[in-house]
Chain A
Amino acid sequence: MLLEISAFLVLEKLILVAIILGISLFIAMYSTYAERKLAAFIQDRRGPNRAGIFGILQPLADGGKLFFKEEIIPEYANKFLFILGPAIFMITACMTSAVIPWGSTLHIFGKDISLQVADVNIGILYIFGVVSLGVYGIMVGGWASNNKYSLLGTIRAASQIISYELAMGLSLIALLMITGSLSLKDIVEQQSHGVWYIVYQPIGFLIFLVCAFAECNRTPFDLAECDSELVMGFHTEYSSMKLGFYLFAEYINMFISSAVMVTLYFGGYNFPGMHSLHVSPNTLTILGVIAFFVKIFIFLFFFIWVRWTVPRFRYDQLMKLGWKMLIPLAILNLLITGALMLYLHH
């Protein structure tokens, strides 16, 4: 029966949620540090190096600064929506992690504990749903600021996210045809015994990757905040921790989309040779989690690297790429995948 939940399960899930949220926030925090260090490396600078050794405490200092700065709400802004905007953006960014399988099961206290908050049978669609809601954070905040740059940034962000969601969904359908399941757990388990799905879906992955960049509003698709044209885009009027939320949520989004890409195309918590290791299941699970995070870090590194090497698109180029290239390519990929599957099954 639906919704019959034991107290122990609730406790277990709550702890898991707390840990995952903590890790997401921690990684998001240190992504900012990594970003600045990498930028410095590429631009032949030193980057932050004052707080702690190698500037390792810099994110904490940044966080502290944002917390204690003066909070300004513009006089003609819609107060309620102005506060609601960053809240929605942050909440939706954190919600996506619920369906990602961070690892296989752990066996402790005589119970099997799954390292996934919720194994819903439509996991990947859940992520899509939540991501598509994230745009409200931008729209509400940008509109409520009552500033023309904010509004322009808002409109750009919203149309960009909606446009790229289409290509993303289409590229995903080709993958789902192979997996036959929408549950992320199933998809990962399938890759545990076979090859990673990147082998079957290279084009699909490429489209997904490009769209992930666009969905996260990352360079080369950061037209929503496009400093040179729109000051700061949708968060021009924001200050203090509300600004912090917007910036922070962006890194969480990056982290989660890396996790999703790893889960879908790079085997999730599986790693080569895991079945020939003769260690206890718990150790294997922990090794899997480590492998998962290593893969995620590689993607995060890629995200940052791209930001400091590739220039920004023009807005019409962005739309052209989304609608006239990625969507047709994704449909073609879908057709070829379908035809091949039909051919191989008969």
Chain B
Amino acid sequence: MSLPTILFWILAVISILSAIGVVVAKNPVHSVLLLIVTFFTITGFYILLNAQFLAVVHIIVYAGAIMVLFLFVIMLMNLNASGEPQKNNLVKFAGVVAGGLLLIVLVAALKKADTGMLIQGSTNIGLIQNLGKVLFKDFVLPFEVSSILFLSAMIGAIVIGKKD
């Protein structure tokens, strides 16, 4: 096994375990911290794919800004492990059945996945120069249009958040 493969497996195991931890953890702050760990491992995957720019942006945006705000809200609301309302067993059972069915479908979908299209080895598509070229040539419209999406979200923050 080559070094990248070993790293991949280590990251994958941490990634999945911490992702499970996010759901299982009783304390919401622990959940958030585990989610940050998950993001870190995802960053690791990006680096393994030689997409350094995406990796760093992932850290700056998700771990560095969004999760901080998450943590912020949870700390201010003072959520505790005991604060979570108990759901009745029927709902839990229905949830397990529905989730299990979705899992089966997705496993079935991915089991026969055609890996022929995967790009083998490292490419340079994730480097900042190439990414910039793709973003401003092929994907210039989505890039610009997403600004409208963010603008409306910002308006929302003001309209809803500001005291009248």
A touches B (Cβ under 8 A): yes
B-contacting residues of A (Cβ < 8 Å)?
Answer: 1-4, 78, 81, 120-122, 125-126, 128-129, 132-133, 135-136, 139-140, 143, 151, 154-155, 158-159, 162, 165, 182
B75 touches A128 (CB 8 A): no
Alpha-carbon distance between A257 and B72 when the two chains are bound, in angstroms:
26
Which candidate, B53-61, B97-105, B111-119, B140-148, is the interface stretch facing chain A? B53-61
Given known contacts A129-B64, A132-B59, A140-B33, A122 and B52 CB-to-CB distance under 8 angstroms: yes
Given known contacts A122-B52, A139-B71, A159-B72, A132 and B127 CB-to-CB distance under 8 angstroms: no
Q: Is B120 an interface residue (CB 8 A)?
A: no
Which residues of chain A come closer than 8 Å to B68, judged between CB atoms?
132, 135-136, 139, 158, 162
Contact flags B45-57 to A (C-beta < 8 A → 1, else 0): 0001010110011
- Determine the residue in chain B with the shortest Cβ distance to A128: B60
Q: Is B76 an interface residue (CB 8 A)?
A: yes
Q: Is B36 an interface residue (CB 8 A)?
A: yes
Q: Nearest chain A CB to B125's CB is how many angstroms away?
A: 13
Which residues of chain B come closer than 8 Å to A128, judged between CB atoms?
56, 60, 64
Alpha-carbon distance between A120 and B33 when the two chains are bound, in angstroms:
27
A121 touches B127 (CB 8 A): yes
B59 touches A129 (CB 8 A): yes
Alpha-carbon distance between A9 and B127 when the two chains are bound, in angstroms:
24
Q: Nearest chain B CB to A281's CB is how many angstroms away?
A: 30
Contact of B60 among A121, A125, A136 (CB under 8 A): A125
Q: Nearest chain A CB to B137's CB is how many angstroms away?
A: 18
Q: Nearest chain B CB to A76's CB is how many angstroms away?
A: 12
Contact flags B131-162 to A (C-beta < 8 A → 1, else 0): 00000000000000000000000000000000
- Determine the residue in chain A with the shortest Cβ distance to B47: A2
Given known contacts A136-B68, A143-B29, A3 and B4 CB-to-CB distance under 8 angstroms: yes
Which residues of chain B come closer than 8 Å to A154, judged between CB atoms?
75
Total of A-B residue pairs, C-beta within 8 Å: 72
B128 touches A122 (CB 8 A): yes
Within 8 A of A (CB), among B72-117: 72, 75-76
Alpha-carbon distance between A195 and B53 when the two chains are bound, in angstroms:
28
* Range of interface residues on B (Cβ < 8 Å): 20 to 34
Given known contacts A2-B122, A3-B4, A162-B68, A129 and B60 CB-to-CB distance under 8 angstroms: yes
Given known contacts A2-B4, A140-B33, A125 and B53 CB-to-CB distance under 8 angstroms: yes
- Determine the residue in chain B with the shortest Cβ distance to A143: B75
Q: Nearest chain A CB to B158's CB is how many angstroms away?
A: 12
Q: Nearest chain B CB to A160's CB is how many angstroms away?
A: 11
Q: Is B63 an interface residue (CB 8 A)?
A: yes
Which residues of chain A come closer than 8 Å to B76, judged between CB atoms?
155
Alpha-carbon distance between A120 and B76 when the two chains are bound, in angstroms:
38
- Determine the residue in chain A with the shortest Cβ distance to B63: A133
Given known contacts A135-B64, A139-B75, A162-B65, A129 and B56 CB-to-CB distance under 8 angstroms: yes
- Determine the residue in chain A with the shortest Cβ distance to B129: A121
| Interface CB pairs A-B, < 8 A, 9 | A3-B3, A121-B128, A122-B52, A128-B56, A129-B59, A139-B71, A154-B75, A155-B72, A155-B75
Alpha-carbon distance between A2 and B49 when the two chains are bound, in angstroms:
9
Given known contacts A139-B71, A158-B72, A122 and B63 CB-to-CB distance under 8 angstroms: no
- Determine the residue in chain B with the shortest Cβ distance to A132: B64
Given known contacts A122-B53, A129-B64, A162-B65, A1 and B122 CB-to-CB distance under 8 angstroms: yes
Which residues of chain A come closer than 8 Å to B72, judged between CB atoms?
139, 155, 158-159
Alpha-carbon distance between A210 and B34 when the two chains are bound, in angstroms:
33
- Determine the residue in chain A with the shortest Cβ distance to B3: A3
- Determine the residue in chain B with the shortest Cβ distance to A182: B128
Which residues of chain A come closer than 8 Å to B48, judged between CB atoms?
2
Q: Nearest chain A CB to B95's CB is how many angstroms away?
A: 29
Which residues of chain B come closer than 8 Å to A3, judged between CB atoms?
3-4, 7
Alpha-carbon distance between A120 and B56 when the two chains are bound, in angstroms:
11
Alpha-carbon distance between A122 and B58 when the two chains are bound, in angstroms:
13
Alpha-carbon distance between A93 and B55 when the two chains are bound, in angstroms:
19
Q: Which of B29, B33, B64, B65 has the most CB of A within 10 A?
A: B64
B60 touches A132 (CB 8 A): yes
Which residues of chain A come closer than 8 Å to B69, judged between CB atoms?
162
Known: A121-B52, A155-B75. 5 other contacts (CB 8 A): A4-B3, A125-B53, A135-B64, A139-B75, A162-B69
Alpha-carbon distance between A140 and B71 when the two chains are bound, in angstroms:
9
Which residues of chain A come closer than 8 Å to B63, judged between CB atoms?
129, 132-133
Which residues of chain B come closer than 8 Å to A165, judged between CB atoms?
64-65
B57 touches A125 (CB 8 A): yes
Q: Nearest chain A CB to B90's CB is how many angstroms away?
A: 34
